[in-house]
Structure 1
Amino acid sequence: MTADNIRQKLEEAFKPELIEIIDHSAAHAGHAGNKGGGHFHVTLVSTQFEGKSLVQRHQLVYQALGDMMKDEIHALGINALTPSENS
């Protein structure tokens, strides 16, 4: 369910040309420091990343996910690309 929630929030925020979400949670269950949130990797291709630095792109993704970053997501890998960077 969390991956679906991530997808919905990112689609609403970025209207991406491509969105891919990989759930790595099962591989990390029970490791030190994991208090229950999932491990995910997202790839987004959106024109909204044009002219933005890598840090700014990541900040936009974190903002879009909001409170999910507190409880539902323990770790998040991000590939935030513009359409020209994805070709």
Structure 2
Amino acid sequence: MIKEVIESKLTASFSPQVLHVINESYMHNVPEGSESHFKVVVVSEQFENQRLIARHRAVNQILSDELANAIHALSIKAYTPTEWQESGELIPDSPACMGGGKK
């Protein structure tokens, strides 16, 4: 399953204090049981002194095979431990699917 692959790769690469991998495929027009749309919340000391774009690039690099083959959409929330604590440790809601560009 893709979710377990994501969890394994991010755990091995970032040693996160917090890791949530959420399959949001059900929110989209895809077959039941799909694993194509994910939200990742990862909290790691490795993100200290990194800009947000560098954090996202690092996650995208680790998951490059999955992004090229299985994952259609990936939302990344990458925090330092301090940022996570200051956020109230809340996983942000994802916006509703707009149906592939439909408004």
TM-score (norm 2): 0.75
Greater share of strand = 1
Runs of 4+ in structure 1 off by over 3 angstroms are none
Percent identity of equivalent pairs: 40
Aligned length: 82
Distance 2:35 2:67 in 1: 9
Greater share of helix = 1
Which segments of 5 or more consecutive residues in structure 2 lack a partner in the other structure?
86-103
Distance 1:37 1:63 in 2: 19
Which segments of 5 or more consecutive residues in structure 1 lack a partner in the other structure?
31-35
TM-score (norm 1): 0.88
Aligned-CA RMSD value:
1.4
Distance 1:59 1:37 in 2: 21
Which of 1 and 2 has greater Rg?
A: 2
